Amino acid sequence: MTTGTPPSSQAYGEPWYWDNRYAHESAPFDWYQKYPALAPLIRIYVPHRHQRVLVVGCGNSAFSEEMVNDGYEVVVNVDISSVVIEAMQAKYSNWQQLKYIKLDVRDMSPFQSGSFDAVIDKGTLDSILCGNNSRQNAAQMLDEVWRVLKEKGVYILVTYGAPVYRLGLLKESCTWSIKLHVIAKFGPEGSSEQPARELTDPIPLDESGSSVEDVLGKNPDVHYIYVCTKLPKAKQ
């Protein structure tokens, strides 16, 4: 499959799946990685704690709470599931630094253009790529992410998608400067295994992304982290 998507996961792209899941599973769950594992990288690319951060597809993750505990002052969270947003609004009603809003990432019109310094995505683009009209919906999402970012703002995408599946999509949609990092997947106790490479050390990227295999070998057991810095759109 051109998206690198497991064929059994198509429901991940559908809103009803998430409403149903969160109605039955209320315990916090973090997709892919938890904040302590990613914090060294986030602190590099979002260095100032007053910077405005948007977490897309937040679910019921503790990730944003842990960002606030690390000193970040404005963390806005969006999800397509009204079930989980209502639960998180109630849970964090006394946390001034956290906001939870029901929103479709393909249309974030309530946010003004250039209103965030960083957008963090752990699995939301992957979920969209599982659904119907995946390529079109992913492009709409990326256009909106690019729009709400300030110039030189960063989109931090954590994904299972190797560069051969993700680089083209990122480059087709918007104008980015892209760096790639990797992190080992969770071990059995929920912490990352011995790193395949130092998290903060970018991997050299060629145009197609094939250079990554030279560094990591075939089918490395990692999550890929694309740090996409917003550049001005080229003039027509």
pLDDT 10s per residue in the chain (236 long)?
334 443 346 566 666 677 787 777 777 788 899 999 999 999 999 999 999 999 999 999 999 999 999 999 999 999 999 999 999 999 999 999 999 999 999 999 999 999 999 999 999 999 999 888 889 999 999 999 999 999 999 999 999 999 999 999 999 989 999 999 999 987 544 444 555 579 999 999 988 888 888 888 888 899 999 999 999 876 55
d(CA 124, CA 126): 5
Tell me which DSSP letter residue 203 carries.
B
Q: Domains (ranges, CATH) in the chain? A: 28-186+196-230 (3.40.50.150)
Rg (CA), the chain: 17
Q: Can you give the pLDDT at residue 13?
A: 61
Residues 97-144 have pLDDT tens digits of: 999 999 999 999 999 999 999 999 999 999 999 888 889 999 999 999
DSSP state of 12: G
Q: Which residues contact 158 (CB under 8 A, 6 or more apart)?
A: 32, 33, 38, 120, 121, 122, 123, 223, 224, 225
pLDDT tens-digit series, residues 58-74: 999 999 999 999 999 99
Give me the residues paired with residue 78 across strands: 56, 101
pLDDT at 11: 64
Half-sphere exposure of 96 (CA within 13 A, CB side): 2
* Calpha distance 92→145 (Å, rounded): 25
> Which residue's structure tokens are 């992190």?
183
In this prediction, residue 20 carries a pLDDT of 80
Q: What is the pLDDT, as a whole number, of residue 6?
A: 38
Write down the pTM of the prediction.
0.89
Instruction: Decide if 6 contacts 127 (C-beta within 8 A).
Output: no
Q: Quote the pLDDT of residue 190.
A: 46
20 burial (CB, 10 Å; 0-12 / 13-18 / 19+) is middle
Q: What is the pLDDT of residue 3?
A: 42
Q: What is the pLDDT of residue 28?
A: 77
